[in-house]
Structure 1
């Protein structure tokens, strides 16, 4: 190893020195494909080793043995570590002081180094040098780009030694293996809850802080992490870049297609002991378990109604708040639920994704499609307990039951008259409009 340029100073806190620059010195990246630049001549290189060899040839020194622009060592160094770049020296000092001097202008998140905030900014700008040919997503590093591509190609080079399941990301394999070992290395300091996955742990921490730095430009809804706001934005655009290789169904995010694949394979990592149903995510599995236990831990603060999942509770609360976060870009109509919004969009596109194999008739709604299928086979699974009449459609069955119960849920605001059927109610409303 070459001679150090910087010697340890008096009052050193750690006295550590480093043989390899990449461990302690992130090199500045440029926006182009070649991310490493020589600070002596300005030439750019695709890998760290290339720029290191180039500097050795020009100066006879390794990249980590000289200082950028000939600067003197930063005054006040207390650790005695040798650093080639000023940014690297600052980044080394920051963990000891706790200081994070670099702030993202978009979301306010702070970082210990300039390199860190520059790398983070790509999340906002979307102009990373490596662009996915399948979905157009821009990534900052070649390693991330290659791993991301696997989400489209289906390549899974990392295999679980316990069950043989394959993964596209090494970190996904590590997280999965914890389902076998039971290891939960991420514990919340606030409440003690432990997690096997860091992303789940990070999301949980935000429930204590309430931090939601990422905001949708379309509707103003705030999110805790950038991936969540990206997924949400697709609810406005209707973009679904991820497709199922088995049935062709498309999805807005990778997690949804992975969850969907369990329907085809039946080999999700979380299996219900009661009914044997498999699930991709632990949260879905826990929600399902509650259908057996009857547990409903999430309660509406407005009416007290309880739910098995926090998402169901949030969706329900929109009845009380009137929140309609899903806005149609074609006509401006707003919806409380993403499902209603997607179905509405079909009125503009004319899409009828559910087609009958018997007669070719197509439908907007899966419920209408299933009801129609029963007309061919004569199936009528909904039977009235009062009179025994059977129905092929659950909606017709519910409407019929009102004859026996006397329920009339649709009430006219003008005169107070109530109706069993919604279409009867709408016809009556028009009679008031005509009389005005």
Structure 2
């Protein structure tokens, strides 16, 4: 088959136990652990392989089926802090850094650091402007292949990233991660300059720029400047009139994907932001923050004339 084959069973005349090994047909990987070959084949993207048996131990003669339909990726490594799960332990370790705030991937001459090596690669491409991954259906190109795959779903309508806790599915893994926060409600990353807290360290980092005075990304067409390049790109669309994010349920289109997500809730009725004190829910986080002030009595907006 195209997945795994069972190597010859070796037995010793002095022992009654027999050892079964499994070899990947696509590379030199060999293991005696059936779960190990499952995880390995999942990483290859093998669609014909599926294991329905317990792990193989010494003395067992169970074979791994090589042609089973309806394969589903087995993800044995589950995060203890959120619903995500992974086929590889190394991916789980990288994911855990989004909870701990650890950022081991750095460049020599740049202060920014990242939890994932893939994010560092994206950052490097943004500096160079290189976009080697080109869409075959439209003129767009991307710095990383994962962004191209996500973009392709805008043509096909495919939404491969499915929530484990509700029926929703998403075209982008980042959107699924953001959605998962509506289930967990955990916000371990606290701003040291104000009371706000966030589920992801990247969100906290983005928020910190609202406190920072430095705004290195300057618009070439007007005096505005921004702390983040992504915000500058969204702003540039106000000059060009480009609105690439189109609603699937009505003719409206938007310059920013986050605005499209908020708009979509007017169709679906989704209200993910819930007050902890009275349980009223809102479609936008800004509306929840405004509502919270009715409980705290906070009035942050003062008139400058009286």
Structure 1 and Structure 2 fold alike (TM over 0.5): yes
Aligned-partner Cα distance in 2 for 1:270–1:200: 23
The change in CA–CA distance for 1:345 and 1:200 in structure 2 (over 3 A counts) is farther
Show the 5 A alignment for 1:69-88. Answer: 69-70=19-20, 84-85=30-31
Aligned-partner Cα distance in 1 for 2:173–2:248: 28
Show the 5 A alignment for 1:223-302. Answer: 223-247=170-194, 249-265=196-212, 271-273=218-220, 274-275=222-223, 277-280=225-228, 282=230, 284-298=231-245
Secondary structure in 2 aligned to 1:117? coil
Aligned-partner Cα distance in 2 for 1:136–1:285: 33
- 2:132 is aligned, of 179, 185, 197, to 185
The change in CA–CA distance for 1:193 and 1:295 in structure 2 (over 3 A counts) is closer
Q: Would you say the 8 A contact 2:160–2:171 is kept in 1?
A: yes
Q: Would you say the 8 A contact 1:236–1:329 is kept in 2?
A: no
1:159 aligns with 2:90: no
- 1:369 is aligned, of 278, 281, 300, to 300
Aligned-partner Cα distance in 2 for 1:291–1:227: 25
Equivalent residue number for residue 57 of structure 2: none
Q: Would you say the 8 A contact 2:22–2:30 is kept in 1?
A: no
Q: Would you say the 8 A contact 1:258–1:280 is kept in 2?
A: no
Secondary structure in 1 aligned to 2:286? helix
The change in CA–CA distance for 1:324 and 1:268 in structure 2 (over 3 A counts) is same
Q: Any idea what the Cα deviations from partners look like across 1:42-97, whole Å, max 9, x if unmatched?
A: xxxxxxxxxxxxxxxxxxxxxxxxxx9256989xx7x8x765348799978x97xx
Unaligned runs of 5+ in 1: 1-24, 26-39, 41-67, 106-111, 353-361, 380-436
Q: Would you say the 8 A contact 2:189–2:199 is kept in 1?
A: yes
The change in CA–CA distance for 1:175 and 1:182 in structure 2 (over 3 A counts) is same
Tell me by how many angstroms 1:257 deviates.
Answer: 1.7
The change in CA–CA distance for 1:301 and 1:256 in structure 2 (over 3 A counts) is same
Tell me by how many angstroms 1:229 deviates.
Answer: 2.9
Q: Would you say the 8 A contact 1:186–1:198 is kept in 2?
A: yes
The change in CA–CA distance for 1:157 and 1:215 in structure 2 (over 3 A counts) is closer
Which range is displaced more, 250-259 or 238-247? 238-247
The change in CA–CA distance for 1:179 and 1:266 in structure 2 (over 3 A counts) is farther
Aligned-partner Cα distance in 1 for 2:270–2:22: 59
Equivalent residue number for residue 326 of structure 1: 272
The change in CA–CA distance for 1:279 and 1:144 in structure 2 (over 3 A counts) is farther
The change in CA–CA distance for 1:201 and 1:342 in structure 2 (over 3 A counts) is farther
Query: Which structure carries more relative contact order (alpha carbon 8 Å, separation 6+)?
Result: 2
Aligned-partner Cα distance in 2 for 1:329–1:215: 26
Q: Any idea what the Cα deviations from partners look like across 1:271-309, whole Å, max 9, x if unmatched?
A: 533435234353x33211123444445566777555322
Aligned-partner Cα distance in 2 for 1:104–1:332: 44
Task: Provide the alpha-carbon RMSD of the alignment.
Answer: 4.9
Equivalent residue number for residue 7 of structure 2: none
Equivalent residue number for residue 60 of structure 2: none
Aligned-partner Cα distance in 2 for 1:243–1:324: 26
- The structure having more radius of gyration, on CA atoms, is 1
Size of the alignment, in residue pairs? 268
Give TM-score, length-normalised by structure 1.
0.47
Equivalent residue number for residue 211 of structure 1: 158
Give TM-score, length-normalised by structure 2.
0.62
Aligned-partner Cα distance in 1 for 2:241–2:28: 61
- 1:337 is aligned, of 284, 295, 301, to 284
Aligned-partner Cα distance in 2 for 1:168–1:233: 19
Which range is displaced more, 167-176 or 152-161? 152-161
Higher helix share goes to which structure? 1
Secondary structure in 2 aligned to 1:288? helix
The change in CA–CA distance for 1:242 and 1:333 in structure 2 (over 3 A counts) is same
Equivalent residue number for residue 201 of structure 1: 148
Aligned-partner Cα distance in 2 for 1:89–1:146: 21
Show the 5 A alignment for 1:97-108. Answer: 100-102=47-49
Unaligned runs of 5+ in 2: 5-9, 11-17, 53-66
